[in-house]
Copies of this chain bind each other. A is one copy, B any other.
Amino acid sequence: MLKNDVDKEEPSRDLYHQVYLAILEHRLPPGTKLGEDKLAKIFNVSRARVREILARLSHEGVVELVPQKGAHVARPSPKQARHVMEMRRLIEPGIVRKLITSLDDEKHAKLLAHLDAETTARRDADTQAIIRLSGDFHFLLGDLCGNEFLARSIRELSTLTCLIIYLYDAPTSDACRDDEHAEIVNAVVAKDADLAAELVTRHLDHIEASLKLSDGVQVVDIEQVFSQISAKPNAKG
Contacts and interface: CB of A to CB of B under 8 A. Distances in A.
A109 to B, nearest CB: 24
Interface string A42-53: 000000000010
A232 to B, nearest CB: 34
A150 B83 contact: yes
Contact of A91 (B83, B90, B147, B148): B90
In the complex, the count of this chain's copies comes to 2
A207 to B, nearest CB: 16
Main secondary structure of the interface of A (DSSP, over half): helix
Interface of A: 52, 55-56, 59-60, 80, 83-84, 86-87, 90-91, 94, 98, 147-150, 153, 157
Contacts of A87: 91, 147, 149-150, 153
A60 B156 CA distance: 13
Contacts of A60: 59
Contacts of A55: 52, 55-56
- Top 10 A-B residue pairs of the complex, sorted by shortest distance between their CB atoms: A59-B59, A90-B94, A83-B147, A87-B149, A83-B149, A87-B150, A90-B91, A86-B147, A91-B91, A153-B153
By CB atoms of chain B within 10 A, which of A84, A86, A90, A98 has the most?
Answer: A90
Nearest to A153: B153
Nearest to A157: B149
Nearest to A97: B90
